[in-house]
Chains A and B, each alone.
Chain A
Amino acid sequence: MPADTLLTYAGKRYLWLGTGAAVALLVSYYVYARDTVPSGSTLGGLIYGWLGFLAILVLMSLGIRKRWYASRLGTVQGWTSAHVYLGLLTLLIIPMHAGFRFGWDIHTFAYALLVIVVLSGVVGLLIYLTVPQKLTAYESGMLPDKAEAEINRVLDEMKQLVGEKSAVLQRLYEEEIRHCQEIRPQGWRLLFKGVDPAAILSAKALDLSMILPKIPETEQESFSQFCSLILRKTELESLLAGEMRVKNALEAWLYVHVPISFALVVAVAIHLLVVLYY
């Protein structure tokens, strides 16, 4: 039997709860809107507002539960499953609270932030469902730290190889080292541009073949050894880049989801202040 995903945790428990809650909300809204002009200031509107507020608090506390390793309050997986469905429910609760009326004001802006948060969550959910299998393909080979250590080992081998050789080889070695040390942060670029190991390798091989004529006769053999080391290093690098790219994808959406959710909390606080003050 396949393992539970986020959506199907504990026999789809939160799917059923979420669907049931949505149906109950819709029925309650039908009754409420039939007799009153729906708005946030009616009794029904206030109740929906409270529900939404509590929902947001529970949703935000996933971040706390995730980091509270000692907690026995459910499992993180269960919490996350509930988080997904509750988050989708808020998309329904808040418009019910507002009587499905929107305008160019701070209150609708808070809801817009909520929509961004939920949509980024949906994107994250889709990533969580599709991307991890790609990661296992890499990790069956080598974890990033090990890959990095292996690259360093290759570099050491190179150093030993070019130790007393000619200036050309020395220069090549220096270039490789400088390349490694001057590498710039490129996590985001990597994410959007993608990694094509085969293309990188063949480009490198082409570069090396261009240098071949400059190598003196005596060092041809060392050079070919050097070349295979370089290609090995390049292969390791591109595998590492590919692996990191997948890991980044699993994290990138959180750079929208988390900050905007805090901005949402602030917007909700302003909303509460405004409606309670006046």
Chain B
Amino acid sequence: MEQKNNRVAAYQLKTRYLTKTTITIVAVILVLGVAILAYALGKHRVFMPGSISTKHRLFAEQCSRCHTPWKPVMTVVANEMCLNCHSVSFHFKNRTVGPAPQCATCHVEHKDKSILAVMSDSACIQCHADLKVKDSPLRFEGKVLSFTTHHPEFAVAVLLPGQKTPERVRLSDKERLVDTASIRLNHKLHLQVNLGGPNGPEQLSCASCHQPDPRGAYMRPVNYEKDCMRCHLLDFDERLRGKTVPHGQQLEEVAYFFRATYAEFYLREHEAERRDRRPAKGLFGARYSIEELSQDKVHKMVAKAEQKCALCHVLERVPDSSGADRSAVVKTAIPERWLPHSVFNHLAHTTVTCVGCHEAAPTSEVSRDVLLPRMDSCRMCHVEPGGARAECVDCHVYHDKTHARQPGDQPYSIEEFKSGQASPTSIIPPIPVTP
């Protein structure tokens, strides 16, 4: 019988062109083709395993700005690639036991992180959980896990008399913790009710003397002219109301000032005689006599002035040019920044009162007191999890930015920067920070 039928062949799925093999070939060619097309068109972003940070997006299509081909598995991008653009210094001298972390050990791209500089605690505690140094004994706390737990009390540098280098003293060390600034100030007295002011009794507050710096982060140093002079005038003669000794001079210069002042007023009073070239009038009737300018008188005035200086300042005896001992005002050396290796921003904390953190200030009577808040007062709000942010980078600074590139040292033109075709003509090499 003739084969008039081909029904099975017609009803099956496989046709001449539509087979599993042909579809496979088409699919494979499609995938390969799209990949090659993307590469050829320069759309290298599709080959990234994870997006990069916002600030690097300008170079997203230029993989070779950071990557060198065929680098070994489980290594990170070399520091040189970062330093082509970035000018930073590292964290410590090479005194640690293990190798120093590379840039990319902590700042890892392609992890969908939009700001690369944000660092979690785990990057810091990979060393600081168990800090080891090679040569000298460990000067810092060896085990820091987080601010909330396992963080040492804050420490400040104290230069005790007779010592050459300052020592680190923890705020909890009540015996050794001392403010060695050569100034006398009684906070309790200044903050009392009905304090005698220039226009009658008044009540001072912290802000009467302590003002923030232009950025608002720290307090600018207390300045005599701005903060003290309103009440503590250095006037010296009732006849000369409003005339004050300029602040900040040593007593020798104060002596010159007195002589010059009285000389001027004497000359003014005897102007007529001077003009007419007549001898000066006698002592009677004159307000300013020549005696004012005598050495003896000036000495007496300086001694009186010294008492006023001593109200706030510490004085010492030093030999002067002639060999005799004179009083001199010791440089105050009031610290501007107590904790220079961390950052703090008063502006972020303006919702709380000064004494909320600086609890010891209203009861402090001597300048020896260090009135910094202790760690526990920060921990009232800054706890992880659940409280205000308390990560390492919120207070601590890893890179020493003072050695960063300064204006005038930029190495690239815009075209060079965008294309990456030139290597930098001048880079400031990373300078390790002395801890």
Q: Which residues of A contact B (CB under 8 A)?
A: 35, 37, 39-43, 46, 98-99, 101, 103-107, 113, 144-145, 148, 151-153, 155-156, 177, 180-181, 183-188, 190-191, 237, 240-241, 244-245, 247-248, 251-252, 254-255, 258-260, 262-263, 266-267, 270, 274-278
Contact of A277 with B69 in the complex, beta carbons under 8 Å: yes
Contact of B13 with A101 in the complex, beta carbons under 8 Å: no
Q: How far is the CA of A185 from the CA of B70 in the complex (A)?
A: 52
Whether a CB of chain A sits under 8 angstroms from the CB of B46 is yes
Contact of B50 with A39 in the complex, beta carbons under 8 Å: yes
Q: How far is the CA of A254 from the CA of B8 in the complex (A)?
A: 19
25 residue pairs A–B, Cβ–Cβ below 8 Å = A39-B108, A39-B110, A40-B49, A41-B49, A46-B73, A46-B74, A101-B50, A101-B112, A104-B46, A106-B38, A151-B5, A152-B5, A155-B5, A180-B4, A180-B6, A186-B11, A187-B10, A187-B11, A241-B11, A244-B12, A251-B13, A252-B13, A259-B26, A262-B24, A270-B35
Known pairs A148-B5, A187-B12. 4 more at Cβ < 8 A?
A41-B49, A184-B10, A248-B11, A262-B27
Q: How far is the CA of A266 from the CA of B36 in the complex (A)?
A: 12
Q: How far is the CA of A278 from the CA of B52 in the complex (A)?
A: 15
CB distance from B111 to the nearest CB of A (A): 6
Whether a CB of chain A sits under 8 angstroms from the CB of B207 is no
Q: Which residues of B contact A (CB under 8 A)?
A: 1-15, 18, 20, 23-24, 26-28, 30-32, 35, 38, 45-51, 63, 67, 69-71, 73-74, 108, 110-112, 122
Chain B neighbourhood of A153, CB < 8 A? 1
Contact of A267 with B31 in the complex, beta carbons under 8 Å: yes
Contact of B111 with A37 in the complex, beta carbons under 8 Å: yes
Q: Which of B30, B67, B70 contacts A263 (CB 8 A)?
A: B30
Q: Which residue, A101, A259, A267, has most C-beta atoms of chain B within 10 A?
A: A259
Contact of A185 with B8 in the complex, beta carbons under 8 Å: no
Q: How far is the CA of A278 from the CA of B292 in the complex (A)?
A: 87
Contact of B74 with A43 in the complex, beta carbons under 8 Å: yes
Chain B neighbourhood of A35, CB < 8 A? 122
Contact of B13 with A255 in the complex, beta carbons under 8 Å: yes
Interface SS of B by simple majority: loop
Closest to A41 in B: B74
Contact of B6 with A183 in the complex, beta carbons under 8 Å: yes
Contact of B70 with A277 in the complex, beta carbons under 8 Å: yes
Q: Which of A46, A148, A191, A275 contacts B7 (CB 8 A)?
A: A148
Chain A neighbourhood of B30, CB < 8 A? 263
Chain A neighbourhood of B18, CB < 8 A? 188
Contact of A103 with B50 in the complex, beta carbons under 8 Å: yes
Contact of B8 with A148 in the complex, beta carbons under 8 Å: yes
Contact of B24 with A278 in the complex, beta carbons under 8 Å: no
Chain B neighbourhood of A99, CB < 8 A? 111
Chain B neighbourhood of A155, CB < 8 A? 4-5
Contact of B4 with A152 in the complex, beta carbons under 8 Å: yes
Q: How far is the CA of A247 from the CA of B12 in the complex (A)?
A: 8
Contact of B5 with A105 in the complex, beta carbons under 8 Å: no
Chain B neighbourhood of A113, CB < 8 A? 31
CB distance from A188 to the nearest CB of B (A): 6
Chain A neighbourhood of B67, CB < 8 A? 278
Contact of A260 with B27 in the complex, beta carbons under 8 Å: yes
Chain B neighbourhood of A103, CB < 8 A? 48, 50-51, 112
Q: Which residue, B7, B11, B23, B35, has most C-beta atoms of chain A within 10 A?
A: B11
Contact of B49 with A240 in the complex, beta carbons under 8 Å: no
Contact of A259 with B50 in the complex, beta carbons under 8 Å: no
Q: How far is the CA of A274 from the CA of B49 in the complex (A)?
A: 9
Contact of A190 with B47 in the complex, beta carbons under 8 Å: no
CB distance from A249 to the nearest CB of B (A): 9
Chain A neighbourhood of B63, CB < 8 A? 278
Chain B neighbourhood of A98, CB < 8 A? 49
Contact of B31 with A259 in the complex, beta carbons under 8 Å: no
Contact of A191 with B24 in the complex, beta carbons under 8 Å: no
Chain A neighbourhood of B71, CB < 8 A? 278
Contact of A266 with B49 in the complex, beta carbons under 8 Å: no
Closest to A108 in B: B49
CB distance from A1 to the nearest CB of B (A): 35
Q: Which of A46, A151, A258 contacts B20 (CB 8 A)?
A: A258
Contact of B10 with A186 in the complex, beta carbons under 8 Å: yes
Chain B neighbourhood of A152, CB < 8 A? 1-5
Q: Which residue, B2, B20, B24, B50, has most C-beta atoms of chain A within 10 A?
A: B50
Q: How far is the CA of A267 from the CA of B36 in the complex (A)?
A: 12
User: Which 10 pairs of residues, A with B, have the shortest CB-CB distance?
Assistant: A244-B11, A263-B27, A259-B24, A278-B67, A259-B23, A187-B13, A259-B27, A183-B10, A185-B15, A274-B47
Contact of B11 with A240 in the complex, beta carbons under 8 Å: yes
CB distance from A52 to the nearest CB of B (A): 14
CB distance from B51 to the nearest CB of A (A): 6
Chain A neighbourhood of B31, CB < 8 A? 113, 263, 266-267, 270
Chain A neighbourhood of B38, CB < 8 A? 106
Contact of A237 with B112 in the complex, beta carbons under 8 Å: no
Chain B neighbourhood of A180, CB < 8 A? 4-7
Q: How far is the CA of A191 from the CA of B12 in the complex (A)?
A: 10
Contact of B49 with A107 in the complex, beta carbons under 8 Å: yes
